[in-house]
Amino acid sequence: MSANHITPPLQGPWVDIDLGNLCENFSLIRSAASDSEVAAVVKCNAYGLGLAKIAQTLADRAKCKTFFVVYPEEGAALRNALGHREARIFCFAGQTDQTLALFDQAKLIPVLNTLEQAQHWADHCSGREASIHVETGMNRIGADFSDLAKIASLKNLNVKMVMTHLACASDPDHPLNSAQREKFIAAATHFPDTTLSLGASAGALMGREYQFDLVRAGIALYGGAPFDEDDTRIKPVASLRAPIVQLRNIAPGDAVGYGATYIAKKPSVIATVAAGYGDGYPRNGSPVGNVSINGERAPIAGRISMDFITIDVSDLKKRPELGDSVEFFGSAVRIHEAAQTTNRVSYDLLTGLGGRVDRRYL
């Protein structure tokens, strides 16, 4: 057997982030929900792609005015990144005693999830804007339906938005969607003349009946389909790539990787790529995953390790060279396909991108 080695230094994985496609996905949702305001969900470091650059781009190029994060620490970082730009920033987790000062300093708006949290905000931030998240059937977080009348009657509570979250929007035909919608409409009667928000990415694309006044665009912005099936209207935003750092000829019967799970059946060429599960590509991507190299597909060969992935490039029409870029998901391998192949979802492929993956903005 023989191997070729790339000349140092060793280059690691990176993700190309197409800001143009990000804005086109925002425009897609805006067109689909033309009577609604489109807000951007930029929680978890903008789904792993970089809070500051993503939010700045959406504010400047897509003219987005409303953003959602989970924690006030995220909200403060977002406010700092947006600088002079006018924006409303909502925090899904609401406030505590410890974070009240941060809400004030960064001009954040809480999403209140319980009667107690609503009372707390009314007591300490009299008259300041707030939103209410209503539990309608997901049983995860949100104010109980039985508490809404009490919340609505609180003095000095200034509720400007009522929202909920669909549990089964990935399947538009699921009966829980319509059941939650009806319960949401009933809940909203406690808060007349407020903005109503039901749909996230999936709800925004499911039709007018799920859109209401404001839709909260999340995964669809970043190139992932919010449905169980792929939606090719959504353009890829993130392309996870890494270079080939070694090419090796092996003989029939030779094993590849940990556990010798891959045995060559014929003379083969194995490409070693500088990426692994430490960078966010799932370990169970072997033996079912495949990648794109110079426009051709090639299968993963052997177990995925923390830092390296081995690819069988024997059948490619053009033999790859050291340093060639390998795409794990992006424009050639859509993220929905990569997620299904690895028994994951696009959400955690994006948010799982490792810290050493270089974010490159196009």
Do 121 and 185 have their domain in common? yes
Q: What is the pTM of this model?
A: 0.93
CA angle 44, 48, 50 (to 5 degrees): 95
CB 237 within 8 A of CB 349: no
Residue 1 labeled ligand binder: no
Whole-number pLDDT of residue 286:
86
CA distance 197 to 22: 22
Assess if residue 59 is contained within a domain: yes
- Using alpha carbons, list the distances in angstroms from residue 314 to 251, 268, 317: 12, 5, 9
Do 168 and 242 have their domain in common? no
CB 307 within 8 A of CB 274: yes
Helices (H), the chain: 19-32, 43-47, 51-60, 72-82, 100-105, 115-124, 148-152, 175-188, 201-205, 335-341, 346-351
Assess if residue 229 is contained within a domain: no
Domain assignment of residue 114, given as a range: 19-222
Do 214 and 257 have their domain in common? no
Enumerate helices (H) and strands (E) in the chain, giving the number of each.
11, 19
Active site (annotated) includes residue 347: no
| Number of Cβ atoms within 10 Å of the Cβ of 224 | 28
Domain CATH code at residue 206: 3.20.20.10
Do 243 and 344 have their domain in common? yes
Whole-number pLDDT of residue 8:
46
At 106, the amino acid letter reads: A
| Structure-block tokens of residue 151 | 């919340």
Q: What is the pLDDT of residues 246-263, one digit of tens each?
A: 999 999 999 999 999 999
Which residue is it, tokens 């990144």?
81
Q: What is the pLDDT of residues 327-357, one digit of tens each?
A: 999 999 999 999 999 999 999 999 999 999 9
Q: 325-329 and 14-17 as β-strands: parallel, antiparallel, unpaired?
A: unpaired
Burial class from Cβ neighbours inside 10 Å (0-12, 13-18, 19+) for residue 286 reads: buried
Whole-number pLDDT of residue 4:
53
Catalytic pick among 63, 258, 266, 318: 258
Whole-number pLDDT of residue 281:
95
Bridge partners of residue 325, in order along the sequence? 243
Do 254 and 172 have their domain in common? no
To 10 degrees, what angle do helices 51-60 and 19-32 make? 50
Do 101 and 62 have their domain in common? yes
Whole-number pLDDT of residue 3:
57
Residue 306 labeled ligand binder: yes
Do 10 and 131 have their domain in common? no
* Chosen domain end from 180, 195, 222: 222
Do 311 and 207 have their domain in common? no
Assess if residue 240 is contained within a domain: yes
Domain CATH code at residue 340: 2.40.37.10
* Chosen domain end from 222, 244, 266: 222
Whole-number pLDDT of residue 11:
84
- Using alpha carbons, list the distances in angstroms from residue 189 to 162, 167, 172, 178, 245: 10, 22, 25, 17, 62
Nearest to 294 by CA among 256, 255, 244: 244
Whole-number pLDDT of residue 350:
97
Assess if residue 230 is contained within a domain: no
- Is omega for the bond preceding 287 within 30 degrees of 0, making it cis? yes
Active site (annotated) includes residue 277: no
What's the number of domains the chain is made of?
A: 2
Burial class from Cβ neighbours inside 10 Å (0-12, 13-18, 19+) for residue 143 reads: buried
Full pLDDT tens readout for the chain, 362 residues = 455 544 444 689 999 999 999 999 999 999 999 999 999 999 999 999 999 999 999 999 999 999 999 999 999 999 999 999 999 999 999 999 999 999 999 999 999 999 999 999 999 999 999 999 999 999 999 999 999 999 999 999 999 999 999 999 999 999 999 999 999 999 999 999 999 999 999 999 999 999 999 999 999 999 999 999 999 999 999 999 999 999 999 999 999 999 999 999 999 999 999 999 999 999 998 888 899 999 999 999 999 999 999 999 999 999 999 999 999 999 999 999 999 999 999 999 999 999 999 999 99
Do 37 and 170 have their domain in common? yes
Assess if residue 227 is contained within a domain: no
Sign of CA dihedral 87, 88, 94, 99: positive
Whole-number pLDDT of residue 253:
97
Strand ranges, E, within the chain:
2-5, 14-17, 37-41, 66-69, 88-91, 109-112, 129-133, 158-163, 195-197, 214-217, 238-250, 255-256, 262-263, 268-273, 290-293, 296-299, 309-312, 325-329, 358-361
Whole-number pLDDT of residue 190:
97
Nearest to 235 by CA among 246, 224, 247, 250: 224
| Structure-block tokens of residue 52 | 């500051």
Do 275 and 316 have their domain in common? yes
CB 147 within 8 A of CB 115: yes
CA distance 356 to 136: 40
Do 217 and 267 have their domain in common? no
